[in-house]
Amino acid sequence: MLELYLPMFLMFAVALGLCCVFFFGGQLLGEKKPSPGKLQPFECGNDSDGAQNMKMSVKFYLTAILFVVFDIEVVFIYPWATLFKGLGWVGFATMLTFIGALIVALAYVWKKGALEWEN
Amino acid sequence: MSLLGNVLEHYVMLAGLIFAIGAVGFLIRRNVLVQLMCIELMLNAVNLALVGYNRVHVGDMTGHLFAFFVIAVAAAELAVGLAIVIAFYRLKSSVQSDEADALRH
Amino acid sequence: MNLLFPLSPLLVTGFGALLLMLTEAFGTPRVRAAAGEEVVDAGAGRSGELALGAAVVLLAGAVLSVAVWLAGPAASPELKLLEPWLVFDGVALFMSFVLCLGGAFTALLAGGYLPEHQIDRGEFFPLLILATLGAQVLSASGDLLMLFVGLETMSLAVYAMIGLRRGSARAVEAALKYFLLGSFAAALMLFGGALLYGATGHTDLRGIGQAVASIGQPESTVNAGLVLLGLTLNLVGLAFKVSAVPFHMWTPDAYEGAPTPTTTFMAVAVKTAAFAILMRLLLTSFGDERAMSWGAGWPPVLALLAIVTMTVANLIAGRQESVKRMLAYSSIAHAGYVLIGLVATMRSPIEGQASVMVYLLTYTVSTAGAFGALILCGSRGAEAVSYDDLAGIGRRHPAAALVFTLFLLSLAGMPPTAGFFGKLYIFRAAIDSELYWLTVLGLLNSLVAAYYYLRVIVSMYFREPAPGAPVATPMRSGLVTGALVLAAFLVLAIGLAPATPLAMALGSLTGG
């Protein structure tokens, strides 16, 4: 039975081996000439500056939260879309109601200013 | 029969194990964000169990359907939870639930 | 297909919530933001009208529930199309009425409380209606999936309603605690549901019931261990929601930290909905002879829960200095009495269920009234919290003290108030089921409880505030007064004509 999985294991082994070759090969074969400039953390050409744990503005969380909530609703639209023909008009009306509720929520969020990036 | 013996039992055992890890983590950790992650872990264990059980209860897709709803509701729950955690962090500058001590008598 | 009328109690709350959401967001605030201040919420200064809108929607839900109940669910065969997802039977309609009533009380109280205490946030009212909708769905659900969706709709809205006062450490803490424990409980219930599905192949409560009833027969393939584990997890989850001891730790903190209208909603609607679904789950899915027997079923577990809940809650309630916290413990104790009624369904299912339904109704009006009176006794910066704050209210504000006394007497179970008959029916059902010792313990607990209710009355009438101590000044609000008048009317009406709600509850069960 297990031999059915042999190709899969082979693929894993090859993938892992290839990674190792690239990673360690680069380290072993490459030439290293460290200098202070090279050892600095890279930050788009600027000198690095500021605290390590940067404080993020709360609007990132707000946007992320809204994204997650609206994004996940596709979980209901996807099965409906695959069975679109079979579900007929009843399914269509149901989905329209659902999307209608989502639109109301979107209008609410918009009017409340949660989508404004400024201020 | 399936390829590797009784696969269902493996799924359910794995689900139970993940659920237990989540529950224990929720109870012993005091970092609210970790506790939130533990709740997500528990919900995902539920999804695994539901989808796993759907393999024996063939004929309808109840288990899969249920899992979809769990995913969607978990996202909404997380959104509300994170909002509360942010409000808490703004007041206390900490995400340790031990800091929630204003209501102890 | 004519589903609009029988489903109208749900439709009116659902669409009402969406409408109120838009009204709130697209209106103009009545308050101007001072320079440098936080942007004023669109609902600011409009709590009064939004509260009125929410109360109208919820009262319409209550009236429509009664209308559909009077027409009889049997008159609408279309409702069968919704089964097993939603079982909109007489019991569900009765509960829908109680829930909408509790929600309407909350809306009116919030309309006075929020502006008074400068928590001027219009979101409260759409959230309140959505929470009520979730509670209605929860109490009517006939499937684990709908149960979960209803439970979460209700809970998520309530979490937000607790944390409304974002600047207050106590409110945010209360929200955090309730959120963490509530989601944990929901996850436990969900895993229990998955196990029940795995063992029986059904998520609808009736299908689970048939599979559970087949346990023990030779051809049955149902794994009894999985069923037991699933039931236990579901019981624990619901015990969290009804705040039965030992799953009550969050209750006093969450009730105390939340704005008082939210506390009212949690004590009233959340508890009612959780008891409604607990009753449906136990009697539909675990209603076979063996699961309901004393020797091999759930009744002894619930009886133990009832005893522990009543006793512990009453003993701790007597030691509280904060009246709000005392009312929180009192609501835990009342959960214990309702559990007695649930245990009584063991031998007299109809009477037991009817007593639970009537008790939830009387508890709703008395508790909403008591919290409302507490709100009325305080004003900005001088909220009535402790017994000392209430000292002398009887002289300074006789009307507030009078209604408060009425609701406390009802909670204590004194005739001729609604609470007396609620307890009477519960204990009568328990005696019918030969649960004599449980009845005796319940009665003893009611006596203990009378002590701390009377203590409030004594504070109000026979004590004066210490010189120099801060005194609570009663607030003025037409909405709060209206809610109190309605609640007081219902408490007295049910107390004077107790046969009507009992007949309604019995009729819901027998389809008459």
- Those residues of chain C whose CB sits closer than 8 Å to some CB in chain A are 18, 21-22, 25-26, 39, 42
Report whether pLDDT(C333) > 50.
Answer: yes
Q: Compute the distance between CA of residue B68 and CA of residue A34 in angstroms, rounded to an integer.
A: 53
A103 touching C, CB under 8 A? Answer: no
Chain A neighbours, 3+ Cβ pairs < 8 A: B, C
Question: What's the confidence (pLDDT) of residue C31?
Answer: 65
Kind and range of the H or E run holding C380: none
Query: Please, are residues C413 and C436 in contact by the beta-carbon 8 Å criterion?
Result: no
Query: Please, are residues C106 and C54 in contact by the beta-carbon 8 Å criterion?
Result: no
User: Does residue B12 or residue C58 have the better pLDDT?
Assistant: C58
Please report which residue ranges of C201-322 form alpha helices under DSSP H: 205-213, 224-241, 250-257, 260-265, 271-285, 299-317
The whole-number average pLDDT for the span C176-188 is: 95
Residue C214 included in any domain: no
How far apart are the CA of C172 and the nearest CA of chain B, in angstroms?
6
Environment class of B49 (CB within 10 Å of its CB; exposed 0-12, middle 13-18, buried 19+): buried
Residue B68: Cβ within 10 Å count = 18
Query: Please, are residues C459 and C380 in contact by the beta-carbon 8 Å criterion?
Result: no
Question: What's the confidence (pLDDT) of residue A44?
Answer: 65
Q: Which residue of C has its CA nearest to A106?
A: C22
Residue A25 included in any domain: yes
Residue C437 included in any domain: yes
Tell me the residues of chain A between 3 and 62 that have a Cβ less than 8 Å away from chain B.
Answer: 4, 58, 61
What percent of chain C lies above the pLDDT cut of 70? Answer: 96
Using a CB-CB distance cutoff of 8 angstroms, which residues of chain C are in contact with residue A111? Answer: 25-26, 42
Best mean pLDDT range from A53-67, B4-18, C257-271: C257-271
A1 touching B, CB under 8 A? Answer: yes
Environment class of A49 (CB within 10 Å of its CB; exposed 0-12, middle 13-18, buried 19+): exposed
User: Does residue C476 or residue B65 have the better pLDDT?
Assistant: B65
Report whether pLDDT(C37) > 90.
Answer: no
Question: What's the confidence (pLDDT) of residue C488?
Answer: 96
| The pair of three-digit structure tokens given for residue B66, joined into one six-digit string | 């249920």
Question: What's the confidence (pLDDT) of residue C388?
Answer: 83
Nearest CA among C206, C104, C57 for reference residue C146: C206
Query: Please, are residues C61 and C324 in contact by the beta-carbon 8 Å criterion?
Result: no
Q: Which residue from B72, B82, B83 is facing A72, i.e. has the nearest CB?
A: B72
Q: Which residue of B has its CA nearest to C321?
A: B105
Residue A119 included in any domain: no
| The pair of three-digit structure tokens given for residue C20, joined into one six-digit string | 């109120």
Residue C41: Cβ within 10 Å count = 19
Using a CB-CB distance cutoff of 8 angstroms, which residues of chain C are in contact with residue A107? Answer: 22, 25
Q: Which residue from B3, B79, B90 is facing A68, i.e. has the nearest CB?
A: B79
Residue A45 included in any domain: yes
Residue C419 included in any domain: yes
Question: What's the confidence (pLDDT) of residue B2?
Answer: 45
The whole-number average pLDDT for the span A45-65 is: 69
Please report which residue ranges of A52-83 form alpha helices under DSSP H: 58-72, 74-82
Question: What's the confidence (pLDDT) of residue C128?
Answer: 96
Q: Compute the distance between CA of residue C212 and CA of residue C200 in angstroms, rounded to an integer.
A: 7
Q: Compute the distance between CA of residue C55 and CA of residue C109 in angstroms, rounded to an integer.
A: 10
Query: Please, are residues C195 and C236 in contact by the beta-carbon 8 Å criterion?
Result: no
- Which range, of A37-41, B84-88, C92-96, C361-365, averages the lowest pLDDT? A37-41
Q: Compute the distance between CA of residue C240 and CA of residue C258 in angstroms, rounded to an integer.
A: 18
Q: What is the pLDDT of residues C223-233, one digit of tens each?
A: 888 899 999 99
ipTM for this prediction: 0.94
How far apart are the CA of B59 and the nearest CA of chain A, in angstroms?
17
- Picking from A58, A97, A108, A115 by the largest number of C CB atoms within 10 A of its own CB, the best residue to mutate is A108
Kind and range of the H or E run holding C142: none
| The pair of three-digit structure tokens given for residue A15, joined into one six-digit string | 């993938």
Provide the 3-class DSSP secondary structure of residue A78.
Answer: helix
Output A14-18 pairs: Cβ under 8 A, ≥24 positions apart. Answer: none
The whole-number average pLDDT for the span B37-57 is: 93
Q: Which residue from B68, B72, B82 is facing A65, i.e. has the nearest CB?
A: B82
Do the chains contact at A111 and C42, CB–CB below 8 Å?
yes
- Picking from B61, B77, B82 by the largest number of A CB atoms within 10 A of its own CB, the best residue to mutate is B82
Q: Which residue of A has its CA nearest to C19?
A: A104
Q: Which residue from C22, C39, C42 is facing A104, i.e. has the nearest CB?
A: C22
- Picking from B51, B86, B89 by the largest number of A CB atoms within 10 A of its own CB, the best residue to mutate is B86
Residue C366 included in any domain: yes
Q: Which residue from C169, C190, C201 is facing B46, i.e. has the nearest CB?
A: C190
Residue A116 included in any domain: no
Q: Which residue from B39, B57, B90 is facing C183, i.e. has the nearest CB?
A: B39
- The domain spanning residue A31 has which CATH number? 1.20.58.1610
Question: What's the confidence (pLDDT) of residue B101?
Answer: 77
Please report which residue ranges of C266-348 form alpha helices under DSSP H: 271-285, 299-317, 323-344
Number of Cβ pairs < 8 A linking chain B and chain C? 118
Kind and range of the H or E run holding A36: helix A36-39
Pick the CATH number of B7-94 from 3.40.50.970, 3.10.180.10, 1.10.287.3510, 3.40.50.2000: 1.10.287.3510
Q: Which residue of A has its CA nearest to B77?
A: A69
What percent of chain A lies above the pLDDT cut of 90? Answer: 21
Q: Which residue type does C153 have?
A: T
| Residues belonging to chain B | 105
| The pair of three-digit structure tokens given for residue B4, joined into one six-digit string | 């590797």
Q: Which residue from B22, B49, B65 is facing C194, i.e. has the nearest CB?
A: B49
Q: Compute the distance between CA of residue B20 and CA of residue B45 in angstroms, rounded to an integer.
A: 9
Predicted confidence band of residue C43 (pLDDT cuts 50, 70, 90): low
Q: Which residue of C has its CA nearest to B89?
A: C172
Residue C328: Cβ within 10 Å count = 26
Provide the 3-class DSSP secondary structure of residue C388.
Answer: coil
Domain span at residue C348 reads: 292-512
Beta bridge partners of C143: C204
Q: Give the helix, strand, coil percentages of chain A, each rounded to 5.
A: 70, 0, 30
The whole-number average pLDDT for the span C279-299 is: 90
Question: What's the confidence (pLDDT) of residue B97?
Answer: 81
Residue C306 included in any domain: yes
Chain B neighbours, 3+ Cβ pairs < 8 A: A, C
The whole-number average pLDDT for the span C193-204 is: 93
**DSSP state, C77?**
G
What percent of chain B lies above the pLDDT cut of 90? Answer: 56
Question: What's the confidence (pLDDT) of residue C277?
Answer: 96
Beta bridge partners of C35: none
Residue A41 included in any domain: yes
Please provide the average confidence, as pLDDT, over all residues in chain C: 90
A80 touching B, CB under 8 A? Answer: no
The whole-number average pLDDT for the span C18-32 is: 83
Q: What is the pLDDT of residues C236-275, one digit of tens each?
A: 999 999 999 899 989 999 999 999 999 999 999 999 999 9
Provide the 3-class DSSP secondary structure of residue C86.
Answer: strand
Environment class of C122 (CB within 10 Å of its CB; exposed 0-12, middle 13-18, buried 19+): buried
Tell me the residues of chain C between 307 and 326 that have a Cβ less than 8 Å away from chain B.
Answer: 325
Q: Compute the distance between CA of residue C411 and CA of residue A55 in angstroms, rounded to an integer.
A: 51
Domain span at residue A6 reads: 2-111
Query: Please, are residues C109 and C264 in contact by the beta-carbon 8 Å criterion?
Result: yes
Q: Which residue from A104, A113, A119 is facing C21, i.e. has the nearest CB?
A: A104
Question: What's the confidence (pLDDT) of residue C379?
Answer: 81
Report whether pLDDT(C412) > 60.
Answer: yes
The whole-number average pLDDT for the span C357-372 is: 96
How far apart are the CA of C394 and the nearest CA of chain B, in angstroms?
29
Query: Please, are residues C236 and C301 in contact by the beta-carbon 8 Å criterion?
Result: no
Do the chains contact at B79 and A73, CB–CB below 8 Å?
no
Q: Which residue from A1, A69, A76 is facing B79, i.e. has the nearest CB?
A: A69
Question: What's the confidence (pLDDT) of residue A32?
Answer: 79
Q: Compute the distance between CA of residue A116 and CA of residue C284 in angstroms, rounded to an integer.
A: 50
pTM of the model: 0.90
Nearest CA among C96, C40, C41, C86 for reference residue C64: C96
Predicted confidence band of residue B1 (pLDDT cuts 50, 70, 90): very low
Residue C346: Cβ within 10 Å count = 22
Nearest CA among C172, C44, C39 for reference residue C115: C44
Predicted confidence band of residue C162 (pLDDT cuts 50, 70, 90): very high
Nearest CA among C225, C165, A19 for reference residue B88: C165
| Count: domains in chain C | 1
Do the chains contact at B92 and C148, CB–CB below 8 Å?
no
Residue A83 included in any domain: yes
Question: What's the confidence (pLDDT) of residue C129?
Answer: 97
Report whether pLDDT(C443) > 90.
Answer: yes
Using a CB-CB distance cutoff of 8 angstroms, which residues of chain A are in contact with residue B72? Answer: 72-73, 75-76
A61 touching C, CB under 8 A? Answer: no
